[in-house]
Amino acid sequence: MSVTLLWWALAALTVAGAVAVIATREMMRMLLGLGAFLLGLAGFYAWYGFELLAVAELFVYVGGVLVLFLFAITSMGRDREGRSMERRLDLGALGISAGMGLVLLVALQSTLPAAPTAVGASVEDTAAALLGPLLPYFELAGVVLLVALVAALAIIGREDAR
Amino acid sequence: MTSLALACVLMSVGLYGLLTRRDIIAVLASIEVMLGGAQLLLAAYSASVTLASPAQGVTLIVLATIAAEAAVGLALLVALVHRGRTRTDQIEEVRG
Amino acid sequence: MNVLREMAYLVVGVPLLIAVVLGLGVRVWGRAAAWIALLGPLLAVAVGASSLEGGASGSVRWLAAGDSVLTLGYHVDGLSAIMLLVVGVVAACVIVFSIGYMHGDRGYVRYFAILSLFTAAMSGLVIAGDLVGLFIGWELVGACSFLLIGFWYEKPAAAEAARKAFMVTRVGDAAMLVGLAVLWRATGTLELSAILGSVGSLAPAVVTTAAVCLLLGAVGKSAQFPLHIWLPDAMEGPTPVSALIHAATMVAAGVFLVARTWPLFEASPEARMVALVLGTITALGAATIALQQTDIKKVLAYSTISQLGFMFAALGVGAWPVAIFHLVTHAAFKALLFLTSGSVIHGSGTQDLREMGGLRSKMPLTAVAWIIGGLALAGIPPLAGFFSKDEVVGSVLAAAPWAGVALLAASLLTGAYVARATRLAFFGPVRGTGEAHESPWTMTVPMAVLAVAAIGLGFAGPSIAAVLGAESEPLSLGLAALAVGLAGAGALGGWLLAAGGGAYENGFPPALTRVWGAARDGYGFDALVNGAIVRPMAALARFTDSVVDRQGIDRVAEGFAGLARGVGEMFARTMTGDGQTYSALLAAGAIILLCITMWLVR
């Protein structure tokens, strides 16, 4: 019972954060919403028993990506523009989004058990997997990160090089 | 099943934001939401298979890749803002 | 000699090769072109001479569809050998003559290339062992005729004459093709020996249809009524061409065709009657027109048409060896007359008889040659024309008296127009510029060769008949005397007609002037064809172009293009440049694809 309650609380947190991201008109509130969403995700990973994943999520996303968003916004002075972001209700987009969600739901409905189950995996097993069968993809991910680093520098250009 | 529903809801929400928001930062944030929903789906799926540890490894790798994507997206944002364009309708390069 | 006899197909191969070599090197070959081209006809003479007793044959499989097979082959018999000799000798004389006549012409090499091609085609036609090869040669000589009539293609009259010749003979060729189809359908093969052997087993209607169709092809090629209108216009070509093609060889191909397929005609009295009627009308009609012409070449053109009519009449009464005999002698003296007229044109600078006169003293050799040819044409003994024409008239008179009488009248007129032309050109006061000169040896020697032939060939009658496998009838002295007398009377009349220097109005009572005027213009037949056929066709062509083509078909084609463009523009409007629109389309597309996939694996 408590397990399920915890799960639903996490779900509420995550969904609330997501809605805030898409709906709010103020930059900072959007960032808060994004933060809540990411925290909720980390919580879910932990609930499922994926401890390594949860910690990685916290470090990388909340600590990295979110802070990156914050830096980007504040260094460009966007946060001082007040109610700057518009939003609009777009029925077509609504239809497409709902349609996408429904289609995915229907397509994948048989692949998951009816109720969420926590299985969990140990860190040692994951490490063994990463350096074993998943080694190529692990290395490839490293390459992707390097390329992204270089790309980001190249895109920004020389004005910002310090 | 419920986890699937949750993941689908999150993805729909993110997609809506992607299609609708006018400010580039908001679009990037919506992309993050959408991809987060996908990761959640992946993690939930991992929880239902017999060998969970490779599944966790896969999700980890996906996480890293998406973080890289976010970084590049923000770099693009900075480049655009420096040229004075902050709204999506100001980007018109791929016009047919 | 035996080698030549066995490899008879060389008469086609060698001139063809020469034609290609000359044609490809039009700028390379200079004066040597003529001597190279001479090889073809000489080879034909050699093969023909060696095959008189019987020649070689051979064939290859060409096309096969199921059980039916088309073969392409050669079969040299006496008839082929005689024709090869005719073609070879006349072509050789013409080629040598052309060295002088075409000297300095811009298209010198092209001329001999086409002449060589013609030699190949004509040889192929006469040695063909099946109707396929014959038809190929037939069409090719028509094409060469087109190329040579329009040789000076910058001249609009020449180009038009070439087109006219091709179109008119096409009518005949189309009928001939129908005949070939009929024969193919009836016998399953196009090999001559097979077809001619099985004539007895074919239905009479089939035989008549095939024979008449082939006859129509011959009518076109030999310029008989009603397909005669192209030959006078064909005089736009160089005169040696007229000598070779439009006097001696190509126009004789029609007569040859009938002789070649004789068993068909033997079995069909209707076809023979058609030949007789057409031939007689042509013989008499063309002779009347020839009497009124002022262009020396046109006189000879209508004379050719008339003499071919004699041959067709002979065919019509069944005397095909006689027709071939007359073909041979006619080739000799008509080619002689044409070459002589070419010499006259070359030497005096004009083709109009009214501007000539007294050339006898300026061009004595030419004059003698012309007179020999003219006497042969008129049928004066002992020249060649006398013997062959006599046999023709004799056979026709015996079988169809009405036609025989008509031919006798035509003989009278023949003498008349020959004498008239002779007097106008060579005798009397000098009406022209007076600067005529004799022609070089390259032109006089061939004339001499042909003159000898014109004198001596008459005595070859029995030999020719023997080679063709027929008997020759002895001469009937009474008929001979009558014919000579008529010719002489006609000559006297023609001589007197020429007293006025060839002007039309001289010496005629007014009523006759109108008649003769009509004769001069070919009795308006050309105008008839022009109005009844050519103009409606041209109008139809214009209509098709402006209405059917431009408005109809072009609109449809452009409509499709416009439709494609419209659809494209419609879709292009989705490319707004707005990234979120693209994402929306992407997502929508993904949804649709997912639905399809799910539906497919349900």
- Reported as a single tens digit per residue, the pLDDT across C258-280 is 999 998 888 888 889 999 999 99
Average pLDDT over residues B11-23: 89
C139 pLDDT tier (thresholds 50, 70, 90): very high
Three-class secondary structure of residue C61 per DSSP: strand
Residue of A nearest to B55 (CA): A126
Q: Look at residues C270, A87, A133 and name the one whose alpha carbon lies nearest to residue B23.
A: A87
Residue of B nearest to C584 (CA): B19
Q: Look at residues C430, C449, C297, C420 and name the one whose alpha carbon lies nearest to residue C363.
A: C430
Q: At what angle do helices C320-348 and C364-378 cross, to 10 degrees?
A: 150
Report CA Rg, chain A.
Answer: 19
**Which of B11, B32, B67 is closest, CB to CB, to A100?**
B11
- Give the model's pLDDT for residue A162: 46
For tokens 């002689």, the residue is C336
* Binary contact (A106, C588; C-beta < 8 A): no
Q: HEC profile for chain B?
A: CHHHHHHHHHHHHHHHHHHHCCEHHHHHHHHHHHHHHHHHHHHHHHCCCCCHHHHHHHHHHHHHHHHHHHHHHHHHHHHHHHCCCCEHHHCCCCCC
Q: Which residue type sits at C438?
A: E
Beta bridge partners of C352: C295
Q: Is C592 on the interface with A (CB under 8 A)?
A: no
Q: How many CB pairs under 8 A join B and C?
A: 31
* Binary contact (A96, C598; C-beta < 8 A): no
Has residue C516 got a pLDDT over 70?
no
Has residue C142 got a pLDDT over 80?
yes
Has residue C30 got a pLDDT over 60?
yes
- Reported as a single tens digit per residue, the pLDDT across C457-475 is 888 777 888 778 777 777 7
**In chain B, which residues have their Cβ closer than 8 Å to the Cβ of A153?**
75
Measured CA to CA, the distance from residue C342 to residue C447 in angstroms comes to: 10
Q: Which residue type sits at B21?
A: R
Measured CA to CA, the distance from residue C343 to residue C467 in angstroms comes to: 35
**Which of C584, C590, C598 is closest, CB to CB, to A106?**
C598
Q: Look at residues C303, C299, C319 and name the one whose alpha carbon lies nearest to residue C311.
A: C319
Q: Is C594 on the interface with A (CB under 8 A)?
A: yes
Q: Is C591 on the interface with B (CB under 8 A)?
A: no
Q: Supply C554's token pair.
A: 């072009």
- Quote the minimal CA–CA distance from B49 to chain C in Å: 23
Q: Which residue type sits at C64?
A: A
Q: Is C512 on the interface with A (CB under 8 A)?
A: no
For tokens 């609330």, the residue is A16
CA distances from C500 to C260, C354, C431, C452, C506 (A): 46, 9, 11, 33, 6
Burial (CB < 10 A; 0-12, 13-18, 19+), residue B55, is buried
Among B51-60, C463-472, C586-595, name the most confident range. Answer: C586-595
* Binary contact (B15, A97; C-beta < 8 A): yes
For tokens 């002489």, the residue is C488
Measured CA to CA, the distance from residue B43 to residue C573 in angstroms comes to: 41
**In chain A, which residues have their Cβ closer than 8 Å to the Cβ of C595?**
103
Q: What is the DSSP secondary-structure string of C411-450?
A: HHHHHHHHHHHHHHHHSSS--S-S---PPPHHHHHHHHHH
What is the average pLDDT score of chain C?
85
- Give the model's pLDDT for residue A80: 59
Taking the C-alpha atoms of C486, C492, C496 and C501 in order, what is their torsion angle to the nearest 10 degrees? 100
* Binary contact (A52, B78; C-beta < 8 A): no
Residues 6+ apart with CB under 8 A from C525: C226, C228, C229
Beta bridge partners of B23: B87
C198 pLDDT tier (thresholds 50, 70, 90): confident
Residue of A nearest to C598 (CA): A107
Q: Supply B8's token pair.
A: 């689908």
- Reported as a single tens digit per residue, the pLDDT across C522-552 is 677 777 777 788 888 888 888 888 887 888 8
Residue of A nearest to B5 (CA): A105
Average pLDDT over residues C399-414: 90
* Binary contact (B95, C577; C-beta < 8 A): yes
**In chain A, which residues have their Cβ closer than 8 Å to the Cβ of C590?**
100
* Binary contact (C594, A107; C-beta < 8 A): yes
Has residue C502 got a pLDDT over 70?
no
- Give the model's pLDDT for residue C546: 81
* Binary contact (A99, C588; C-beta < 8 A): yes
Measured CA to CA, the distance from residue C451 to residue C376 in angstroms comes to: 9
**In chain C, which residues have their Cβ closer than 8 Å to the Cβ of B92?**
577-578
Q: Supply B31's token pair.
A: 């992309």
Do residues C390 and C468 make contact, with C-beta atoms less than 8 angstroms apart? no
Q: Is C596 on the interface with A (CB under 8 A)?
A: no
- Give the model's pLDDT for residue A122: 74
Has residue C148 got a pLDDT over 50?
yes
Q: At what angle do helices A123-130 and B52-82 cross, to 10 degrees?
A: 70
Beta bridge partners of C61: C71
Within 13 Å of residue C437, how many CA atoms lie on the same side as its CB?
4
Q: Are strands C57-65 and C68-75 parallel, antiparallel or unpaired?
A: antiparallel
* Binary contact (A22, B40; C-beta < 8 A): no
Alpha helices in C188-203 (DSSP H): 192-197
**Which of C591, C597, C598 is closest, CB to CB, to A99?**
C591
Residue of C569, C578, C580 to mutate, interface with B, max B Cβ within 10 Å = C580
Q: Supply A20's token pair.
A: 């805030």
CA distances from C293 to C247, C251, C317, C514 (A): 17, 21, 31, 15
Measured CA to CA, the distance from residue C457 to residue C325 in angstroms comes to: 9
Q: With a cut of 70, which residues of chain A have pLDDT below it?
A: 1-3, 78-88, 112-120, 158-162
DSSP code of residue C191:
B
* Binary contact (C580, B15; C-beta < 8 A): no
Measured CA to CA, the distance from residue C147 to residue C276 in angstroms comes to: 32
Do residues C190 and C132 make contact, with C-beta atoms less than 8 angstroms apart? yes
**In chain B, which residues have their Cβ closer than 8 Å to the Cβ of A120?**
52
Q: What angle do CA C406, C407, C413 make, to 5 degrees?
A: 95
Measured CA to CA, the distance from residue A94 to residue B12 in angstroms comes to: 9
The proportion of chain C whose per-residue pLDDT surpasses 90, expressed as a percent, equals 25
- Quote the minimal CA–CA distance from C591 to chain B in Å: 12
- Give the model's pLDDT for residue C319: 87
Three-class secondary structure of residue C73 per DSSP: strand
Measured CA to CA, the distance from residue C246 to residue C221 in angstroms comes to: 10
Do residues A42 and A65 make contact, with C-beta atoms less than 8 angstroms apart? no
* Binary contact (C577, B18; C-beta < 8 A): no
Has residue C339 got a pLDDT over 50?
yes
- Give the model's pLDDT for residue C506: 47
- Give the model's pLDDT for residue B52: 60
Measured CA to CA, the distance from residue C288 to residue C283 in angstroms comes to: 9
Do residues C220 and C169 make contact, with C-beta atoms less than 8 angstroms apart? yes
Task: Report the CATH architecture of A2-78+86-131.
Answer: Up-down Bundle (1.20)
Element of type H or E holding C68:
strand C68-75
Measured CA to CA, the distance from residue C168 to residue C526 in angstroms comes to: 12
Measured CA to CA, the distance from residue C362 to residue C481 in angstroms comes to: 35
Measured CA to CA, the distance from residue C422 to residue C378 in angstroms comes to: 12
- Give the model's pLDDT for residue C523: 73
DSSP code of residue C95:
H
- Quote the minimal CA–CA distance from A6 to chain B in Å: 13
Q: Is B18 on the interface with C (CB under 8 A)?
A: yes
Measured CA to CA, the distance from residue C376 to residue C200 in angstroms comes to: 40
- Give the model's pLDDT for residue A83: 54
Which chains would you list as touching C if contact means 3+ CB atom pairs under 8 Å?
A, B
Residue of B53, B88, B91 to mutate, interface with A, max A Cβ within 10 Å = B53
Q: Is B88 on the interface with C (CB under 8 A)?
A: yes
**Which of C575, C580, C584 is closest, CB to CB, to B96?**
C575
On the question of a cis peptide bond just before residue A136, with omega within 30 degrees of 0, the verdict is no
Measured CA to CA, the distance from residue C510 to residue C145 in angstroms comes to: 40
- Quote the minimal CA–CA distance from A160 to chain C in Å: 26
**Which of B10, B25, B52 is closest, CB to CB, to A119?**
B52
Measured CA to CA, the distance from residue C221 to residue C172 in angstroms comes to: 7
Model ipTM over 0.95: no
For tokens 């032939």, the residue is C453
Q: Is C593 on the interface with A (CB under 8 A)?
A: no
Three-class secondary structure of residue C263 per DSSP: helix
Residue of C nearest to B90 (CA): C578
- Give the model's pLDDT for residue A1: 42
Residues 6+ apart with CB under 8 A from C442: C96, C97, C99, C100
Measured CA to CA, the distance from residue C167 to residue C142 in angstroms comes to: 10
Has residue C422 got a pLDDT over 50?
yes
Do residues C159 and C167 make contact, with C-beta atoms less than 8 angstroms apart? no
Measured CA to CA, the distance from residue B7 to residue B21 in angstroms comes to: 21
For tokens 């040859």, the residue is C256
**Domains defined along chain B, listed by start:** 2-90 (1.10.287.3510)
* Binary contact (C598, A92; C-beta < 8 A): no
Q: Is A131 on the interface with B (CB under 8 A)?
A: no
Residue of B nearest to C585 (CA): B19
**In chain C, which residues have their Cβ closer than 8 Å to the Cβ of B91?**
577-579
Q: How many CB atoms lie within 10 A of CB C245?
A: 28
**Which of C584, C590, C595 is closest, CB to CB, to A93?**
C584
Q: Count how many residues are written for chain A.
A: 162
Has residue C505 got a pLDDT over 60?
no
Q: Supply A11's token pair.
A: 């779900």
